[in-house]
Amino acid sequence: MDTAVRSGGYGGGVDRDQFVTAVVDVSVIAGLVLLGNIEHGGNPIAEPFASVETIAPFVIGWLAVSLLAGVYTRDRVQGSHRYRQMAVTWIAAANVGLMLRASSLFDGGATWPFPLVITGTGLVALLGWRFGFGLYRSATA
C-alpha cells in the first residue's frame, strides 16, 4: 500500500519573486562596484575582464553569505526584521568580498577607506532599493 502524500512544496525553496529579487540585488552590487571602478579611471568597455575581476569578489561574497543567511528562501523573515537581516548579510558579504579582493585570487586591494566606502554605499543601495520596492508592493497590494 502506497501512502505518498504530495505537499504544496518545501519551505526552503526559491520562487520567482525571490529569484527576481536576487537578480536585482546582484545587479545593484555589480553596478555599484562598476561605478566605483569607472570613478577611479576604469573603463569597462576597453577592459571588460578587469571590470569583471573587480565585480566578482563582491558578487561571490554576496551570493555565498545571502544563501547561508536564507535571504531568498520562502520562509525568510518578514516585516522590518528583513531589513535588519539584509543589513547584517551585506556587512558580512562585503567583508567576504574584501577578503577575496585582498587575496592573491583577484587583482586589487582593500586599502583604507575602501572597506568603509563599499560597506556603507552597498548598505544604502541595497536597503534603498529593497525599501522602495517594499513601499511599491504595499501600495499596489
Answer yes or no: are the C-beta atoms of 59 and 30 closer than 8 Å: yes
CA-CA-CA-CA torsion sign (65, 67, 68, 69): positive
The reported pLDDT for the residue numbered 12 is 54
The reported pLDDT for the residue numbered 73 is 83
Contacts of 91 (CB under 8 A, 6+ apart): 119, 123
pLDDT tens for the chain, residues 1 to 141? 556 554 455 555 557 888 889 999 999 999 999 999 999 999 999 999 999 999 999 999 999 999 999 898 877 667 778 899 999 999 999 999 999 999 999 887 788 899 999 999 999 999 999 999 888 888 987
Half-sphere exposure of residue 104, counting CA atoms within 13 Å on the CB side?
0
Run of H or E including 133: helix 114-140
The reported pLDDT for the residue numbered 111 is 87
The reported pLDDT for the residue numbered 3 is 61
The pTM of the full predicted model, rounded to 2 decimals, is: 0.85
DSSP assignment string, 37-83? HHHTT--TTT-HHHHHHHHHHHHHHHHHHHHHHTTTSTT---TTHHH
